[in-house]
Amino acid sequence: MAQTTPNHTMTVSGWAAHDSSGKITPFTFNRRQNGPTDVTIKVLFCGICHTDIHHVKNDWGITMYPVVPGHEITGIITKVGSEVSNFKIGDKVGVGCLAATCLKCEFCKDSQENYCDQVQFTYNGIFWDGSITYGGYSNILVADHRYVVRIPENLAMDKAAPLLCAGITVYCPMKDNKLFESKGKRVGIIGLGGLGHVAVKFAKALGHHVTVISTSPSKEKEAKDHLGADDFIISTNPKHMQSSKRTLDFILDTVAANHSLGSYLELLKVNGTLVVVGAPEKPMELPSFPLIFGKRSVKGSMTGSMKETQEMIDFCGKHNILCDVEMVKTNEINEALDRLAKNDVKYRFVIDIAAESPKI
């Protein structure tokens, strides 16, 4: 249980898992009162991330029950602290993965606080006051303003919610690998799920030639006609893979299922880069020859900093980029988690937190 602190006297409603069965049930708990550097947010929408499944079921052995998931949060500010000058009541805002960092290390000082050794997350983390953090499956969130971003006025709050995790996760590797600096690169996206479909939209907005790489032939029409992909490779088809060798400058691997990287590396040109953002449960097979004979690189990337997250959401506002979502009510969370575990979603579930709905 979260530690009880004197300042945690705001009673809020939420939805939590209480054991490794992962079943979500209504949960009433206390949050801290709005402090000098805090903003209080009325939560409107919260995306469901695959990470939520791992936490509610304690797949990684780190869950502190009860756990209130949710780190793709959009809402409206209802209160601001005395030291907050960049937000006001009524602002449309979002909260992603980060809740607290040390604010002092080299990464925090260099606007890379997501790599801080003391980073704490929006849920299942330990806040500065020693309490366990509770996430966006709740009607109210209190957040330090330094971990809050402003949502552009033209973006719908429901479809913008998953950008706070899925969006920033694919934005950063594109930025780090200079896809924002020149057009016309040949970009491959492995997987057309919650992350992959946003990555296609980003790469097309940047003016690149986009190839979706998937095990599902049925996704080709969707990739091309709806998302605007230029090419489609069926990764289980040897002829497709062979004919596409050395054609891509950059590949973003969004797949969380176990898979080998060898055949995908062969798709890269000499000096090409593959970035892993999916998190398979087992170690990935990484053959040496495709690396050596192509002078290729494999990198990893996680969520971004707050500066990058604001840049990302502003980029989405400029290009009118939103996630494709399925809306669910709070009494449908368990069903949505079950479907997500089977990859039965197009492309991201978002909970309508503010809507009136029956109990789970």
Domains and CATH numbers, the chain: 10-165+324-352 (3.90.180.10), 166-300 (3.40.50.720)
Tell me the two tokens of residue 229: 């992909």
Query: Cβ(72)–Cβ(46) under 8 Å?
Result: yes
Reading the chain (360 residues) residue by residue, the pLDDT tens digits are 445 577 899 999 999 999 999 999 999 999 999 999 999 999 999 999 999 999 999 999 999 999 999 999 999 999 999 999 999 999 999 999 999 999 999 999 999 999 999 999 999 999 999 999 999 999 999 999 999 999 999 999 999 999 999 999 999 999 999 999 989 999 999 999 999 999 999 999 999 999 999 999 999 999 999 999 999 999 999 999 999 999 999 999 999 888 999 999 999 999 999 999 998 878 899 999 999 999 999 999 999 999 999 999 999 999 999 999 999 999 999 999 999 999 899 899 999 999 854 444
3 state SS of 302: coil
3 state SS of 309: helix
Tell me the two tokens of residue 26: 């209504």
How far is Cα 20 from Cα 61, in angstroms, rounded to an integer? Answer: 10
3 state SS of 323: coil
The half-sphere exposure of 118 on its side-chain side, counting CA atoms within 13 A, is: 11
What are the C-alpha distances in Å from 268 to residues 121, 185, 253, 305, 357? 35, 12, 13, 28, 49
pLDDT of residue 58: 95
The half-sphere exposure of 75 on its side-chain side, counting CA atoms within 13 A, is: 34
pTM, entire model? 0.93
Kind plus residue range of the DSSP H or E element containing 51: helix 50-56
How far is Cα 3 from Cα 133, in angstroms, rounded to an integer? Answer: 10
pLDDT of residue 257: 85
